Amino acid sequence: MERGDRHDYPSVEVQYTKDDYVAGYQLATSFTRRGWLFVILSILLICIAAFFFFRYEEASLRLQLLVPVYIALGYALYGLAARALAVPWLGRRAYARQPPAWVPERIELRPEGLRFQAPRGESTVLWRDLTKWRTGRKTTLLYMSPSPSVFLLIPARLAALGFPMDDLKATLARELGPPVR
């Protein structure tokens, strides 16, 4: 960890990798508790509707029970395939299409927000500019709009380089409230 040039704020230089982006996209697309509840209730409603549809069509009990089970299994397999194949591909694709992500930058933790310094320029993201945050084992996401696709990525591996991730999370909790779960 190094200190900022003009002040005594903790900072670290980061070079983002494809793995950082994949971890960020996996966290961004993983369900929250509310998301899981919505998915489970949706699948349950679809299965109940299918059960009653076949019941009124006077189908056999076996068909009435198997079709909803197959529907639920189909949704589960689709979700697993999307998580295992599509999301990592989207993360790698996003990294490949964002040349500024390839440039090393310095991240500085300041009382008013995070300061990003790179050869192409510098900016400060104020705490009040963030709408919510989410943390996982590999990364922390700082959302800059209610849209789940606009976020800043802070890899957890920065802690090994001396960046105060615990201080960052404590500041985020104080300024924005608890992380989205």
Residue 72 pLDDT grade (very low, low, confident, very high; cuts 50, 70, 90): confident
**How far is it, in rounded angstroms, from Cα 162 to Cα 117?**
17
Report which residue type is found at 124.
Answer: T
pLDDT at 104 over 60: yes
Residue 68 pLDDT grade (very low, low, confident, very high; cuts 50, 70, 90): confident
Per-residue model confidence (pLDDT) at position 6: 59
Residue 56 pLDDT grade (very low, low, confident, very high; cuts 50, 70, 90): confident
**How far is it, in rounded angstroms, from Cα 104 to Cα 81?**
33
Asked which of 19-23, 79-83, 116-120, 170-174 is least confident by mean pLDDT, the reply is: 79-83
Distances (CA, A) of 53 to 44, 73, 84: 14, 19, 33
DSSP state of 166: H
pLDDT at 2 over 70: no
Per-residue model confidence (pLDDT) at position 4: 45
Rounded to the nearest integer, the mean pLDDT of the chain is 90
pLDDT digits (tens, 9 = 90+) for 41-53: 988 898 888 888 8
**CATH number of the domain at 2-26+98-176, please?**
2.30.29
Three-state SS for 28? helix
**How far is it, in rounded angstroms, from Cα 24 to Cα 170?**
20
pLDDT digits (tens, 9 = 90+) for 130-162: 999 999 999 999 999 887 778 999 999 999 999
Per-domain residue ranges of the chain: 2-26+98-176, 29-89
Average pLDDT for 148-177: 95
